[in-house]
Amino acid sequence: MKRGRLFVILALVLLGVVVLFLLPGGESAEFDVVEEFATHPLIHLPSIGPVDLSVNKTVVYLWITFGVVCVLAFFINRGVKPVPGRFQFAMETLYELARDSIVGSVMKSGRETWFPYIAGVFFFVLISNLVGLVPLPFAEHWSLGFYAATANLYVTLSLALCTFVFTHYAGVRNNGPVAYVRNWAPASAPPVLRQLIWVIHAVSEVFRVVSLSVRLFANMLAGHAILAVFFGMALLFQNYAAAALLQGGSVLIYLFELFVAFIQAFIFAILSGVYIGGALDQEH
């Protein structure tokens, strides 16, 4: 076990060193942190009205995430054994986490119906976050760099809108459209106060989309920005001692980002379960 931990630490240090020296170096190097998160078109395609169909870095990372999900699903389906190995055990642990700790803990009804969506969101966000911690040649000047599709607000907003739509679909289907909207405010409240509560609840439904999307976007963007700043500072000082010190800091940040990648996927999924479960089981 100790040897395995040492191997992981050495691998992370080596990863950081490789990325550091493959970034544009030299006295003429210009490293722009903002540019690392720019989404310039990689494949130019025609536009349909205001919609640009060009393929940019975010789209490529979404394709990679989708590919990883498909490959994992294929190997998990083909390799299920009565006595699980390490990989199968890890996948079963994540599955049980999604089933019991996320869906099972926040939803009273509709667990079987909505578990596929909530678990799918959990695994998609988690894998997207982890892919963002793998250096790929899509950074500035086609150098290796870190980027996550979930560090793009349009991606997180799309995921949040899916939860928003499914929440109200579940509520209307389970309670009926009139009863669902009427139950946004308690019937026992005085008329004026009941109207005020209803308006507050309606506004909060909109802000759920904002909170879901911005929370995931801001956390992933901040972590990757800090990593980019550390690499940029190592290039700026042009000193091996400073570079080694900053590299050590970047390894610690990288390890923390692994935790953030998991916890943000967990939070997004469990909040989706809370919202859908609350729409299904309204307090009358």
Q: What is the pLDDT of residue 4?
A: 53
Report whether pLDDT(1) > 50: no
270 pLDDT higher than 90 = yes
Q: Which residue has the higher pLDDT, 1 or 274?
A: 274
Confidence label for 32 from pLDDT (cuts 50, 70 and 90): low
pLDDT of residue 121: 94
In this prediction, residue 241 carries a pLDDT of 74
Confidence of residue 273 (pLDDT cuts 50, 70, 90): very high
Per the structure block, which two tokens stand in for 73?
Answer: 């699903």
Q: Does position 31 have pLDDT exceeding 70, yes or no?
A: no
Quick check: 39 pLDDT over 50? yes
Tens digit of pLDDT for each residue in 72-90? Answer: 888 888 877 887 788 888 8
Q: 39: which 2 tokens? A: 């989404």
Three-state SS string over 94-148 comes to HHHHHHHHHHHHHCCCCHHHHHHHHHHHHHHHHHHHHHCCCCECCCHHHCCECCC
